[in-house]
Amino acid sequence: MKAPSPKVLILHPDLNLLGGIESYYRKMDAYFTIDPGHLVIGKRPGEAGRMVMVQRLLGDYWQFFRRLKRDQYDLVLLNPSLSRKAIIREGFFLRLARLRGKKTVVFFRGWEQDFAAELAGRRRWLFDRLFKDADAFIVLAEAFRRTLREWGCSQPIHREVTVAEDQLMDRLDFPGTLEARLNDSVWRIIFPSRILKSKGVYELVDAYALVKAQHPNLELLILGDGEEMSALQNYAARQRIDGIRFTGHVDGEVKHRLFRSAHLLCFPTRHEEGMPNTLVEAMAFGLPVVTRLAGGIGDFFREGEHGFATDSADPQVFAALIEKLYRDRELYRRISINNFEYASTHFRASQAAARLEAIFRSVFIERG
């Protein structure tokens, strides 16, 4: 007999924003069978000014407390990053939930290592006071699970991944797409992410320039917006690096078309990632990956099977790895097939929704 399902309220940012949490729940919503409630918290589009922020935060707490009382939820799912602001802000949501007698699951979406080091030492009391009595945790990397255990968390800790759309993979003519890539006269590197220094965008441009000097048929597609967009465009112009297309933010079929036309994801991130959506989406299109082993990437990524990973931030290292895939088409074909098959098996939104619901049911039953 199937275990009873709790009534769940999910707290998350505005789904019209462009971050990883927002993308995750947009993809997941169609596959939930429990029809969870949603409460938008955090910064809203167009929000500016400290007073507006304080008023909105107080309003979020009030709306949350009202929803718990009015709609009789059994369980609350929070989605903080392990960062100073998020821990304090969402820790109060957890305290309010516990005050109302609700079960809580905390899904850590990001993980700032410097702040984690503080929590491991003199600020442990802060984590213990706010989060230690959560009923379960979800993390995006095995290293994060080990850290929570070291902090004395004895409750269940589940490891999850970010997801790709089922329909995207089901509709993709992967054999035809792969052959079209192998026969294309232009070879495209793609970078679909926020334009931040910590994402490795300058290292990417420099690595691309090195390979471009040897292979003029290369292009670089930079998909996204961010604080470094203008500076990066100026940098590429000063270096006289041609063949770079800055598309800005794209979504839907436009984004899918650019992924189908691309050959390789290069993602030299130094950002404190959980499990990057960028990498999952690329693998769902069968793109080989050249990356750094950030966050949860190293928990599954196999060198030479999914692409190549390095601890280096040296553009010459990335250029050599890109060159390797460019020159060896049989290696390229094998990795491309591996990635599409792996994503189809492990990264589907429908699979992740089912796993989340199983976690909700287990917490609802087993944690009293």
Q: What is the DSSP code string of 194-221?
A: ---GGGTHHHHHHHHHHHHHH-TTEEEE
What is the residue-averaged pLDDT of the chain? 92
pTM: predicted TM-score of the whole model, two decimal places: 0.90
pLDDT value of position 296? 86
Please state the rounded mean pLDDT for residues 152-167.
93
Q: Provide CB contacts within 8 A for 285, sequence distance 6+.
A: 168, 172, 177, 259, 260, 262, 340
- Of 368, 364, 279, nearest to 76 (Cα)? 364
- Of 311, 308, 315, nearest to 331 (Cα)? 308
Residue 302 has φ and ψ, to the nearest 5°, of -115, 120
Helix H segments across 274-328? 277-284, 315-327
pLDDT value of position 100? 93
Task: Write out pLDDT tens, residues 1-19.
Answer: 456 689 999 999 988 877 7
pLDDT value of position 2? 57
> Does pLDDT of 220 surpass 90?
yes
Rounded Cα gap, residues 368 and 82, in angstroms: 27
Q: What residue ranges define each of the domains in the chain, with the CATH number in brackets? A: 8-163+348-366 (3.40.50.2000), 166-346 (3.40.50.2000)
Please state the rounded mean pLDDT for residues 191-215.
95
> Does pLDDT of 334 surpass 90?
yes
pLDDT value of position 353? 96
pLDDT value of position 47? 78
pLDDT value of position 124? 92
Rounded Cα gap, residues 232 and 368, in angstroms: 53
pLDDT value of position 3? 60
Task: Write out pLDDT tens, residues 239-267.
Answer: 999 999 999 988 889 999 999 999 999 99
> Does pLDDT of 273 surpass 80?
no
The label of the residue with tokens 């189809």 reads 344
> Does pLDDT of 45 surpass 90?
no
Please state the rounded mean pLDDT for residues 284-297.
92
Rounded Cα gap, residues 247 and 126, in angstroms: 42
